[in-house]
Amino acid sequence: MEELNSDALTHTILAFAFPNEGGGLDTHLVDTHINDALQFGRSNNIGIILSIGGAGVNFLNLTKADLNALAKNIADYAIQHRLDGIDIDWEHFSTNEQPNPIKSGNHLYLLKRLHELLPQEIDLGTEVEAGFWNGPNYHQDLDIYADYIRFMAYNFTGQWPRSFIDHHSAWLYTQMGLASDTLGSNSMMQKYPKEKTLLGLPFYHKGFVDGQSEQVSIVTTDHIIEKLVKDRGFEFNSGHAIADTTHWYWETPELINKQS
What is the per-residue pLDDT for 111?
98
List, for residues 32-84, the tens digit of each pLDDT value: 999 999 999 999 999 999 999 998 898 989 999 999 999 999 999 999 999 99
Over residues 178-189, mean pLDDT = 60
CA distances to 1, 112, 154, 250 from 177, rounded to whole Å, are 33, 26, 10, 19
Domain count, the chain: 1
pLDDT of residue 121: 97
Lowest mean pLDDT among 10-24, 193-207, 229-243: 193-207
Judged against a pLDDT cut of 80, whether residue 25 lies above it is answered with yes
**Residue 177 domain-assigned?**
no
In a domain, 115, yes or no: yes
Q: Which residue has the higher pLDDT, 249 or 257?
A: 249
Mean pLDDT of 149-161: 91
Residue 64 lies in a domain: yes
More confident residue, 207 or 3: 207
* C-alpha–C-alpha distance, residues 153 and 187, integer Å: 11
Question: Regarding beta strands 240-243 and 216-220, do their DSSP bridges make them parallel or antiparallel, or are they unpaired?
Answer: unpaired
Would residue 127 count as lying in a domain? yes
DSSP code of residue 120: T
The CA angle 68-74-79, to the nearest 5 degrees, is 125
Among the ranges given (64-73, 125-134, 136-145, 247-256), the one the predictor scored with the smallest mean pLDDT? 125-134
Q: Is residue 242 assigned to a domain? A: no
CATH of the domain at 12: 3.20.20.80
Q: How many CB atoms lie within 10 A of CB 91?
A: 18
Say whether pLDDT at 199 is over 80. yes
Q: List the Cα angle 213/59/75 in 5-degree steps.
A: 125
**Mean of pLDDT over the chain:** 90
- For residue 220, the model assigns a pLDDT of 95
d(CA 47, CA 77): 16
Residue 88 clears pLDDT 80, i.e. is over it: yes
In eight-state DSSP terms, residue 232 is: T
CA distance 60 to 106: 8
How far apart are the C-alpha atoms of 205 and 236, rounded to whole Å? 13
Task: Give yes or no for residue 184 having a pLDDT over 70.
Answer: no
How much is the pTM? 0.91
In a domain, 159, yes or no: no
The distance from CA 225 to its chain's CA centroid, rounded to whole angstroms, is 24
What pLDDT was estimated at residue 97? Answer: 67
102 pLDDT band (50/70/90 cuts)? confident
- Please report the pLDDT score of residue 73 as a whole number: 98
In a domain, 1, yes or no: no
DSSP run (H or E) holding 150: strand 148-152
- The domain in which residue 64 lies consists of 6-152
Is there a domain that residue 96 lies in? yes
- Residues 6 or more apart whose CB falls under 8 angstroms from that of 20 comprise 26
pLDDT of the residue at 174: 76
Query: What pLDDT, on a 0 to 100 scale, did the predictor assign at position 82?
Result: 97
